């Protein structure tokens, strides 16, 4: 009986998803809303007008999206079927570029909802989920808001309610039990395990086995590697690493992100080396420091992430002191340069690096330099290249990314207050509740809001959000991880030091 019920539910879900897909594909009028072409009545029209104006996709791709709907409208209205090649040269789309981009900014809920409803329709054919319903609800929210302000240009057609029912019945029952999060945890654990094993194998012998005493007995690592045993001025009798091109790594908020960074050092430096060997490095990862950094970062959120959130101290002196000890340890371990693959740690970069005898690479400088060398062309004529920045409140408030990017001539575009309050911060809150799908949808909206503002690329400077979207998500092609630039700079520094030796 139970199996028959499950089979019937799967059948209903599949059929509802297929009918919903046809609604979207043939552009059944669902609403009436102002857009760049005047008035749009379907999600495909809204997204197509924005895609053509921003030149994100070639016109032929957009025409392929629009053509099924054009055929349907021609048949219903008893008119000749339009030519595929002339589809964008007449009708609504002929005056497309005259439309202002402010329309998209004012109505980003509807624009984002249209993107989600289309993506949900396509993905629903393979695995029904909540994306379609989420997109339609966003559209209703945007249309309803305009209606409350007395706009006569907006309206909802009866087909919208049918689409809502189809999207609702298209949700698979098992998709409500967070299977994505379960798989994500497993994959992250496997990834961490593989990174750890790969990192250990890639370490040079000098990184693992320190010098022995004159008696032949090995030095006790528990005594020799304690930060208090190294003098701050760097005049130690021996060092953990003997190569001058070694890289010291200070762990940050997330051990997973730290190990991912180390994995990049190993893989990318092995490709650069003729003998397929990675650069020597030493990693200093302290779970207590990670916890302190995490609590500090989350205390900047306007919502309490736990019952103890109100009692989290904002004093960062103990964090800076701990980071300085780690820097001194790495400095006296023989590191030729030091890196911190942690965004919030760079908030106190000057205090941490004061008096350091070796270079400490700055993640903001590294990513800004790489973007400058890429010779980016502005998306909108008459303005400098724009770089979007998505991060936690603590990182944005520190301002180091903005400063480094502006020094290289870029215009930095940050989420406005409404976007932070309604998408970015709720995404982090949803992630803390283990609502992975909800967090993913909110992050996608935040990214779309920045892309609408004609940015060349988006710096995703958050450990929480960095690995939230699946690797094949098309939005990730417009984003970059600043720690990638930090890893490349560390490898280049190590290679140049090796050449000079």
List the CATH number of the domain containing 425: 3.40.50.1860
How many helices (H) and strands (E) the chain has is answered by: 22, 10
374 and 308 share one domain? no
Interhelix angle 255-272/482-500, rounded to 10 degrees, is 40
Residue 183 has pLDDT above 70, yes or no: no
Please report whether residue 184 resides in a domain: no
Kindly indicate the confidence band of residue 296, based on its pLDDT and cuts at 50, 70 and 90. Answer: confident
**Which of 60-64, 406-410, 416-420 is predicted with the least confidence, judged by mean pLDDT?**
60-64
Q: Which of 360, 386, 405 is the last residue before a domain boundary?
A: 360
The pLDDT of 282-305, averaged and rounded, is 77
Please state, in angstroms and as integers, the Cα–Cα distance from residue 324 to each residue in 53, 113, 286, 289, following that order.
50, 46, 13, 11
Rounded Cα distance between 136 and 166, Å, is 11
Kindly indicate the confidence band of residue 138, based on its pLDDT and cuts at 50, 70 and 90. Answer: confident
Q: Give the per-residue pLDDT at 274.
A: 60
Question: With DSSP H G I counted as helix, E B as strand and the rest as coil, what are the percentages for the chain, rounded to 5?
Answer: 60, 10, 30
Q: Give the per-residue pLDDT at 499.
A: 63
Q: Give the per-residue pLDDT at 311.
A: 41
Q: Contact, 34 vs 107, CB < 8 A?
A: yes
351 and 432 share one domain? no
- Sign of the alpha-carbon dihedral angle for 188, 192, 198, 203: positive
389 and 327 share one domain? no
350 and 201 share one domain? yes
149 and 9 share one domain? yes
Q: Looking at per-residue confidence, does 1 or 98 come out higher?
A: 1
Please state, in angstroms and as integers, the Cα–Cα distance from residue 430 to each residue in 350, 423, 434, 440, 470, following that order.
34, 10, 6, 9, 17
Residue 37 has pLDDT above 60, yes or no: yes
18 and 149 share one domain? yes
Please report whether residue 213 resides in a domain: no
Spell out the residues 6+ positions from residue 285 whose beta carbon is closer than 8 angstroms to its own: 251, 255, 258
Q: Give the per-residue pLDDT at 430.
A: 87
Q: Give the per-residue pLDDT at 498.
A: 67
Please report whether residue 180 resides in a domain: no
Q: Give the per-residue pLDDT at 478.
A: 92
Kindly indicate the confidence band of residue 73, based on its pLDDT and cuts at 50, 70 and 90. Answer: confident
288 and 346 share one domain? yes
The pLDDT of 91-103, averaged and rounded, is 54
314 and 392 share one domain? no
199 and 345 share one domain? yes
Rounded Cα distance between 281 and 267, Å, is 13
pLDDT in tens, 424-445: 888 888 888 888 888 898 899 9
The pLDDT of 259-269, averaged and rounded, is 92
- Interior/surface letters 160-170, b for 16+ CB within 10 angstroms, e for the rest: beebbebbebb
**How crowded is residue 243: how many other Cβ atoms within 10 Å of its Cβ?**
20
Kindly indicate the confidence band of residue 314, based on its pLDDT and cuts at 50, 70 and 90. Answer: low
95 and 241 share one domain? no
Please report whether residue 189 resides in a domain: no
User: In the chain, how many domains are there?
Assistant: 3
Residue 472 has pLDDT above 80, yes or no: yes
Q: Which of 325, 360, 395 is the last residue before a domain boundary?
A: 360
Is pTM, for the whole model, over 0.85?
no
The pLDDT of 182-209, averaged and rounded, is 37
Q: Which of 341, 360, 379 is the last residue before a domain boundary?
A: 360
Kindly indicate the confidence band of residue 491, based on its pLDDT and cuts at 50, 70 and 90. Answer: very high
**Which of 14-28, 33-47, 100-114, 234-248 is predicted with the least confidence, judged by mean pLDDT?**
234-248
354 and 376 share one domain? no
Rounded Cα distance between 82 and 74, Å, is 8
Kindly indicate the confidence band of residue 63, based on its pLDDT and cuts at 50, 70 and 90. Answer: confident
Phi, psi (rounded to 5 degrees) for 323: -65, -35
Q: Contact, 351 vs 303, CB < 8 A?
A: no
Residue 290's domain spans which residues?
194-208+218-360
Q: Give the per-residue pLDDT at 195.
A: 39
72 and 138 share one domain? yes
């Amino acid at each position: 009986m139970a199996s028959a019920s499950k089979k019937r539910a799967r059948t209903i879900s599949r059929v509802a998803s297929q009918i919903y897909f046809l609604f979207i594909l043939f552009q059944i009028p669902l609403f009436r809303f102002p857009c760049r072409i005047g008035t749009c009545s379907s999600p495909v029209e809204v997204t197509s007008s924005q895609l053509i104006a921003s030149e994100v996709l070639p016109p032929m791709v957009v025409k392929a999206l629009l053509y099924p709907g054009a055929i349907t409208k021609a048949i219903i209205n008893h008119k000749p079927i339009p030519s595929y090649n002339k589809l964008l040269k007449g009708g609504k789309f002929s005056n497309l570029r005259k439309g202002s981009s402010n329309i998209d900014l004012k109505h980003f809920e509807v624009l984002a909802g249209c993107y989600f409803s289309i993506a949900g329709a396509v993905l629903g054919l393979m695995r029904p989920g909540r994306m379609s319903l989420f997109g339609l609800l966003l559209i209703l929210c945007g249309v309803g808001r305009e209606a409350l302000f007395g706009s006569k240009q907006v309206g909802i057609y009866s087909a919208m309610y049918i689409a809502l029912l189809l999207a609702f019945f298209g949700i698979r029952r098992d998709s409500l039990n967070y299977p994505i999060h379960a798989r994500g945890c497993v994959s992250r654990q496997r990834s961490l395990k593989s990174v750890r094993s790969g990192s250990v194998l890639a370490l040079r012998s000098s990184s693992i086995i320190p010098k022995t005493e004159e008696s032949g007995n090995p030095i006790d690592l528990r005594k020799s590697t304690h930060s208090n045993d190294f003098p701050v001025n760097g005049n130690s009798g021996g060092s953990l690493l003997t190569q001058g091109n070694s890289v010291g790594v200070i762990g940050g908020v997330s051990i997973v992100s730290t190990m991912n960074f180390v994995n990049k050092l190993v893989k990318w430096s092995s490709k650069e080396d003729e003998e397929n060997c990675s650069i020597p490095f030493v990693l200093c990862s302290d779970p207590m420091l990670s916890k302190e950094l995490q609590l500090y970062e989350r205390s900047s959120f306007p919502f309490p992430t736990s019952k103890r959130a109100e009692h989290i101290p904002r004093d960062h002196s103990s964090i800076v002191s701990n980071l300085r000890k780690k820097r001194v340890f790495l400095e006296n371990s023989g590191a030729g340069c030091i890196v911190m693959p942690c965004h919030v740690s760079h908030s106190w970069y000057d205090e941490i690096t004061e008096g350091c005898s070796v270079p400490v690479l700055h993640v903001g400088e590294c990513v800004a330099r790489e973007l400058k060398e890429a010779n980016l062309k502005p998306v909108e004529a008459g303005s400098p290249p724009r770089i979007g920045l998505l991060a936690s409140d603590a990182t944005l408030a520190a301002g180091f990314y903005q400063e480094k990017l502006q020094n290289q001539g870029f215009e930095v575009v940050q989420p406005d207050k409404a976007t932070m309050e309604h998408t970015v911060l709720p995404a982090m809150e949803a992630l803390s509740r283990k609502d992975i799908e909800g967090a993913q949808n909110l992050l996608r909206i935040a990214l779309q809001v920045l892309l609408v503002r004609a940015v060349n690329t988006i710096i995703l400077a958050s450990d929480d959000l960095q690995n939230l979207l699946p690797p094949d998500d098309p939005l990730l092609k417009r984003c970059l991880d600043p720690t990638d630039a930090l890893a490349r700079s560390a490898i280049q520094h190590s290679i140049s030091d090796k050449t000079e030796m």
